[in-house]
Amino acid sequence: MSKDYYQTLGINKGASKEEIKKAFYKLAHKYHPDKKGGNEGKFKEVNEAYQVLSDDGKRSKYDQFGSGFENMGTNEGAQGGFGGFDFSDFAEGFSAQGESAFGNLNDIFSDFFTGGGRAQARRGRDISTEIQVSFSDSIFGINRKILITKTSNCLTCNGSGAKTGSTMATCKHCNGQGKIHETKRSFLGNISSTKICENCYGTGEVPKEICDKCKGKGVLRREEEISIVIPAGIRDGEMIRMSGMGEAISKGTMGDLYIKINVALHPVFKREGSDLVMNLNLKLSDALLGREFPIQTLDGEIKVIIPEGVGINEILRVRGRGVPMSKSKRGDILIKLNIKLPGKLSRKSREIIEELKEEGI
């Protein structure tokens, strides 16, 4: 079914480009979904109509064939939110005026498409660092302390920015509201925004006398000791997030601290999932006759019995000595047996092997 774009915009078929644009601005303001009482469906219809009628080529094809012209291989529909309208067109004709009666367009749309410029909570910057732990500590976990230089709350005023014993006064910039309301005029009408007061940082109060240490900011750059709990079983390259341990900001919440864990290599063991894997070199005689071997694990020495007649590349499993998976469960140790064959035989060894050969061994 063909759509009547002229009716959608409420204009006559012979309307000029200026009339088309004016009608669109009016309806876009009325139906925009970010506004109270807006209608996303209507906004998309209005936008679609404007996309066609504001383009001479598309409008000519529409007048000849109706809205079905887009299915005739000539569809140039734009991509993007709300039908793909490029809001940079809104600024056409106003760029030369700079801060005109319509206000700064970038500021207007920044406010308009973030819900009318609602005041956002102040938050400190996230920071990151990295530390190295031993292979054993990565398996069993450990508590570590590190020193980081970052912006932190002032210890003298506990982040208030006030001198010790000083009282607080109502902020004169926002009259104690903590927020500043602004209204900007635009072609979409008056757009109101609310911003956090930059004088009191949203608290509505300021100290009568400021802290000498931080100069009233409540924060300053200093070295801070941080305790880190490294969980058992952490892997190389994993990150630990410590919420609220990042940088502080005046009268706001602290950011987060991200710690990358680098696990040192172990001379014997490698990790495969929840198991620890190691290689054990055996002489041929040990493989044939069997032997008891002492193995130094991450949590003490154990005795491993090599059974008689083990095969090349056979794997022995020692249960419950691997990576902790819970308080009561651990992975295993996997021992890969490498049987070393002699490169050169003595006369006696050759005679013994010849005898074994005759016996079918």
Which pLDDT does position 238 carry in this prediction?
94
Report the relative pairing of strands 257-263 and 127-133 from DSSP bridges. parallel
User: What CATH number is given to the structural domain containing 312?
Assistant: 2.60.260.20
| Same-domain pairing of 131 and 257 | yes
| Same-domain pairing of 148 and 60 | no
Taking alpha carbons only, the member of 257, 261, 260, 264 closest to residue 148 is 257
Domain containing 162 equals: 127-166+209-263
> Reduced to 3 states, what is the DSSP secondary structure of residue 52?
helix
| Same-domain pairing of 132 and 250 | yes
Per-residue pLDDT of the chain in tens (361 residues, 90 and over written 9): 568 888 999 999 889 988 998 888 888 878 877 677 778 888 888 888 888 898 888 888 888 777 666 655 433 333 334 444 444 444 444 444 444 434 444 444 444 444 444 445 678 999 999 999 999 999 999 999 999 999 999 999 988 889 988 888 999 889 888 888 887 776 666 777 788 888 888 888 888 899 999 988 899 999 999 999 999 999 999 999 999 999 999 888 899 999 999 999 999 999 999 999 999 999 888 888 899 999 999 999 999 999 988 888 899 999 999 999 988 899 999 999 998 887 787 888 888 778 777 776 6
Token readout for 214 is: 């931080």
The predicted model scores a pTM of: 0.58
Measured CA to CA, the distance from residue 51 to residue 77 in angstroms comes to 8
| Same-domain pairing of 259 and 274 | no
126 known member of a binding site: no
Domain assignment present for residue 304? The answer is yes
| Same-domain pairing of 150 and 238 | yes
| Same-domain pairing of 74 and 17 | yes
User: What CATH number is given to the structural domain containing 27?
Assistant: 1.10.287.110
For CA atoms 51, 54, 60, 64, the dihedral sign is positive
197 known member of a binding site: yes
| Same-domain pairing of 245 and 284 | no
Q: Could you say which of 263, 289, 309 is where a domain stops?
A: 263
171 known member of a binding site: yes
Token readout for 114 is: 């973030």
Q: Could you say which of 85, 119, 150 is where a domain stops?
A: 85
| Same-domain pairing of 258 and 294 | no
Domain count, the chain: 3
23 known member of a binding site: no
Measured CA to CA, the distance from residue 198 to residue 292 in angstroms comes to 75
Measured CA to CA, the distance from residue 153 to residue 140 in angstroms comes to 34
- Calculate helix-pair angle for 40-53, 56-65, nearest 10 degrees: 100
174 known member of a binding site: yes
Which pLDDT does position 108 carry in this prediction?
47
129 known member of a binding site: no
